[in-house]
Copies of this chain bind each other. A is one copy, B any other.
Amino acid sequence: MNQTSDYGPFFPHSRKVYVNGSQPGVRVPFREIELAHTINPDGSENRNAPIRVYDTAGPNTEGPLPALRAPWIAGRKHATQLELARAGTVTPEMEFVAIREHVAPEFVRDEIAAGRAIIPVNRCHPESEPMIIGRKFRTKINANIGNSALGSSIPEELEKMRWSVLWGADTVMDLSTGKDIHETREAILRHCPTPIGTVPLYQALQKVGGDVNKLSWEVYRETLIEQAGQGVDYFTIHAGVLKKHVPLAKKRLTGIVSRGGSIMAQWMQNKGEESFLYTHFEDICEILQSYDIAFSLGDGLRPGCLADANDAAQFGELKTLGELTQVAWKHGCQVMIEGPGHVPMHLIKENMDRQLADCFEAPFYTLGPLVTDLAAGYDHLNSAIGGALIGWYGCSMLCYVTPKEHLGLPNKEDVREGVVAHKIAAHAADLAKGIPNAQDRDNAISKARFEFRWEDQFNLCFDPERARRFREQSMPPGEKFDVKQRYCSMCGENFCAMRINHDIRENDE
């Protein structure tokens, strides 16, 4: 086990450790949080074992990342992880994620082979550390970044990407629609340790000057190949929005709220033709197969408000996504399915159940769902409620929502809020669905809390810097926080239940 140090000032007492696998180059990072000793009433000390947590932050470097996966890619034909799994192979990528998830490599292989999980790994993105998306593994989260016509630069987007993975994003989507799309994506791909997803339609529309009528299979295909060659690991493709669905969406309160979905609906309406994403779906499969890019079949008809949740448009598209899943699988492509959106709590389970049934257990990847339409400014929290629920029910990845949702482009602090909110939701889901050992870290922080090990309390939680800052802020004027305090300002010393407990126990002895 090798060691390097450091996650910067945000995660004190954390160090990066690696666990080696059996295959060459399989070296899996974890973040290990060192804990203080427990001091017993008699003054003796007990060691607390460090806690090792899943680590998304990647190598600690400002420059382009090393091409971790290059030797693995060079050593095999252009088969996908799905094809290799079906052939019985445990790839280095599968072993890598098995170690990350504390499961057997063969279990990973079998889940991939069955289509129940995916490892998005474009052979042109050798810098990425393999991760798995599937409901029998830890619930993942995605952070969206990217510029719009109204702002943001490449350094800002790179900073948001680094910030996202530092706080725990498992994948990052570059949703740029502004200028320098190609260059922004290139910079992100060369510096990002997680899979990168995109919506190629955005750049295709850019290429034709924003004129939907000029969109064509040819310009879309050219865009796919351009992005594939750069190394994008999964593509959101709204191939399930068909001509027949558009009239269903017109009855809605908020119509079509997916950008990709609305663009394709407009194109179909103006042309009177079926979507080229659907008619050319097998051509798309061939391209994605040759790079091992995963499909993220977009829900172009996701509900944009509670009133439109679980309607005929949404579930009609879901059926089509299921058909396309089987076509993609036939071509050896990995597939996940995107989901809503805005859904009240009591209608969430139906989304999960239907997705599993209609899409043959391909992993589900949802945006929220938001459980009310009224939470602008707090939509990260709104989304965390729905995300925790659907994660528990079996959703494999939650797309984060930031406090700026419905209002504007997130800044760096919004990204942090969004990522941490969804880390909490995903972890809550893992606890509820019974992921083995998911509760270890909770137990460690609770023990630290009971023993007034303040440093450990900060360091074990999802945002140590914020927890410590809040603790310090709440000191009375003129007093400084002392990590040895056996109470906090919430109750003060006399009313500290934890302290009284110790008195009770010590009295016992």
Residues of chain A touching chain B, judged by Cβ–Cβ distance below 8 Å, are: 148-151, 177-178, 202, 205, 210, 212, 246, 250, 253-259, 261-263, 265-266, 269-270, 304-307, 342, 344-346, 371-378, 380-382, 384-385, 388-389, 392, 403-409, 411, 420-421, 424-425, 427-429, 431-434, 439, 441-443, 445-447, 449-450, 457-458, 460-463, 466-467, 469-471, 473-477, 479, 488-498, 500-501, 503-505, 507-508
Give bound CA distance, A151 to B262, whole Å: 55
Question: Does B462 lie within 8 Å of A375, measured CB to CB?
Answer: yes
Identical chains in the assembly: 2
Given A250-B505, A374-B442, A489-B408, also A497-B259 (CB < 8 A): yes
Question: Does A346 lie within 8 Å of B467, measured CB to CB?
Answer: no
The smallest C-beta distance from A359 to any residue of chain B, in angstroms, reads 23
Give bound CA distance, A137 to B132, whole Å: 44
- Subset of 23 A-B contacts with CB under 8 Å: A148-B495, A150-B475, A151-B489, A250-B508, A254-B450, A255-B505, A256-B501, A258-B497, A262-B500, A263-B500, A307-B442, A345-B431, A346-B431, A371-B431, A374-B445, A376-B457, A376-B470, A405-B490, A407-B474, A407-B488, A408-B474, A409-B489, A409-B490
Partner pick for A431 among B372, B424, B425, B457, CB 8 A cutoff: B372
Question: Does B262 lie within 8 Å of A344, measured CB to CB?
Answer: no
Q: Which residues of B contact A473 (CB under 8 A)?
A: 408, 411
Question: Does B262 lie within 8 Å of A497, measured CB to CB?
Answer: yes
Q: Which residues of B contact A205 (CB under 8 A)?
A: 494-495
Q: Which residues of B contact A443 (CB under 8 A)?
A: 253, 305-307, 373
Give bound CA distance, A149 to B409, whole Å: 43
Give bound CA distance, A385 to B428, whole Å: 9
Question: Does B374 lie within 8 Å of A424, measured CB to CB?
Answer: yes
Given A259-B495, A406-B457, also A476-B151 (CB < 8 A): yes
Give bound CA distance, A446 to B306, whole Å: 8
Q: Which residue of B lies closest to A502 (CB)?
A: B255
Partner pick for A491 among B148, B261, B431, CB 8 A cutoff: B148
Partner pick for A374 among B259, B372, B378, B461, CB 8 A cutoff: B461
Q: Which residues of B contact A433 (CB under 8 A)?
A: 346
Q: Which residues of B contact A428 (CB under 8 A)?
A: 344-345, 371-372, 382, 385
The smallest C-beta distance from A149 to any residue of chain B, in angstroms, reads 4
Question: Does A466 lie within 8 Å of B377, measured CB to CB?
Answer: yes
Q: Which residues of B contact A420 (CB under 8 A)?
A: 378
Q: Which residues of B contact A425 (CB under 8 A)?
A: 385
Question: Does A372 lie within 8 Å of B497, measured CB to CB?
Answer: no
The smallest C-beta distance from A89 to any residue of chain B, in angstroms, reads 36
The smallest C-beta distance from A373 to any residue of chain B, in angstroms, reads 4
Partner pick for A385 among B270, B306, B388, CB 8 A cutoff: B388
Question: Does A262 lie within 8 Å of B501, measured CB to CB?
Answer: yes
Given A377-B470, A504-B269, also A429-B254 (CB < 8 A): no
Q: Which residue of B lies closest to A151 (CB)?
A: B476
The smallest C-beta distance from A214 to any residue of chain B, in angstroms, reads 13
Q: Which residue of B lies closest to A450 (CB)?
A: B254
Partner pick for A470 among B202, B258, B403, B461, CB 8 A cutoff: B403
Question: Does B504 lie within 8 Å of A266, measured CB to CB?
Answer: yes
Question: Does B381 lie within 8 Å of A424, measured CB to CB?
Answer: yes
Give bound CA distance, A449 to B392, whole Å: 30
The smallest C-beta distance from A463 to any residue of chain B, in angstroms, reads 5
Partner pick for A421 among B256, B381, B411, B458, CB 8 A cutoff: B381
Given A265-B504, A500-B263, also A446-B409 (CB < 8 A): no
Q: Which residues of B contact A507 (CB under 8 A)?
A: 269-270
Ranked nearest first, the 4 interchain pairs of A and B with the lowest CB-CB distance are A408-B474, A305-B446, A149-B492, A255-B501
Question: Does B344 lie within 8 Å of A375, measured CB to CB?
Answer: no
Partner pick for A424 among B250, B378, B460, B495, CB 8 A cutoff: B378
The smallest C-beta distance from A305 to any residue of chain B, in angstroms, reads 3
Give bound CA distance, A503 to B262, whole Å: 10
Give bound CA distance, A504 to B177, whole Å: 21
Partner pick for A259 among B408, B457, B474, B491, CB 8 A cutoff: B491
Give bound CA distance, A504 to B304, whole Å: 17
Given A304-B446, A408-B473, A445-B374, also A497-B381 (CB < 8 A): no
Give bound CA distance, A307 to B501, whole Å: 17
Question: Does B385 lie within 8 Å of A177, measured CB to CB?
Answer: no
Q: Which residues of B contact A434 (CB under 8 A)?
A: 346
Given A471-B408, A488-B408, also A462-B498 (CB < 8 A): no
Q: Which residue of B lies closest to A442 (CB)?
A: B373
Give bound CA distance, A411 to B474, whole Å: 8
Given A346-B392, A446-B306, A491-B148, also A374-B460 (CB < 8 A): yes
